[in-house]
Structure 1
Amino acid sequence: MANAITKVITWFNGEQVGKDSFGNLYYQQRKSSKGRRRRWVIYNGKDEASAVPAEFHAWLHYTIDEFPSNPTQRRPWMSEHEPNHTGTELAYRPPGHVLQGGHREKATGDYQAWSPEG
């Protein structure tokens, strides 16, 4: 959610360029004062940088000049973008994790502890 200062700057200086599939809104300055126009995003929901898909990240950071016009066109090897799930219920928890019951399978016997004596 944008704070009050971002909303005021966007109201006076920004022009909306587009929107992504997550509902994030992308803006750029109406007029350029020093070469290129500033670009920014107003997140749909919590401010989380990992919620910006790669093609929009490239536009925000001037890696590409044109705003992604067809971001849904995906190559077969590309997976769908997902925000970082750390700290959420969707986060990966390996077997034996405390929140997964805290039990893991016993070692298979192929582990040998190191000792400094050699």
Structure 2
Amino acid sequence: MITGTLFNTWRNGRQVGTDEYGNRYFEEKAPKAGARARRWVLYKGSLEASKVPPAWHAWMHYTTDAPVQAESRTWQKSHLPNVTGTEHSYLPPGHDLRGGERSKATGDYEPWQPV
């Protein structure tokens, strides 16, 4: 982690809370007159913005004054990291990295032909 960020956090921030992933959330101790207190997160592990839960996302963007601790529902899936650009990313049928072969069109598709 960047040393300047840690120093700034130690000097100017107060910890508001942590989430289930170990990320720590901070708010500015002494905001300037008439300004909102700045808010930031120190990620645990990789710097992945999709690891911020919805309650903390709302708090960071000033939608709520305090993070709402929502209870987990049985139908909710647990968090999955963003895998775009990795070997685990989704490749649709016909993608070049999956062989480039797609199923034939059903007859309702007419490809564009230049004039």
Does TM, scored on the shorter chain, surpass 0.5? yes
Partner residue, 1:97:
95
1:64-102 deviation per Cα after TM superposition (whole angstroms, max 9, x unaligned): 00133x24x135665444343211233221011222233
1:100 and 1:112 map into 2 onto residues whose CA distance is 24
1:9-55 deviation per Cα after TM superposition (whole angstroms, max 9, x unaligned): 01111121111122211111222333432110011222232221222
1:52 and 1:66 map into 2 onto residues whose CA distance is 15
Partner residue, 2:85:
87
Partner residue, 1:108:
106
Unaligned runs of 5+ in 2: none
Aligned length: 114
1:85 and 1:43 map into 2 onto residues whose CA distance is 17
Which aligned segments of 4 or more residues in structure 1 are displaced greater than 6 angstroms?
Answer: none
2:4 and 2:61 map into 1 onto residues whose CA distance is 21
Alignment check: 8 A CA contact 1:17 1:67 kept? no
1:102 and 1:116 map into 2 onto residues whose CA distance is 23
Q: Which has the higher contact order (CA 8 A, sep 6+)?
A: 1
Percent identical? 51
What is the TM-score of this pair, normalised by structure 1? 0.76
The SS at the match of 2:17 is: strand
Amino acid at match of 1:29: E
Q: 2:60 matched to 1:48?
A: no
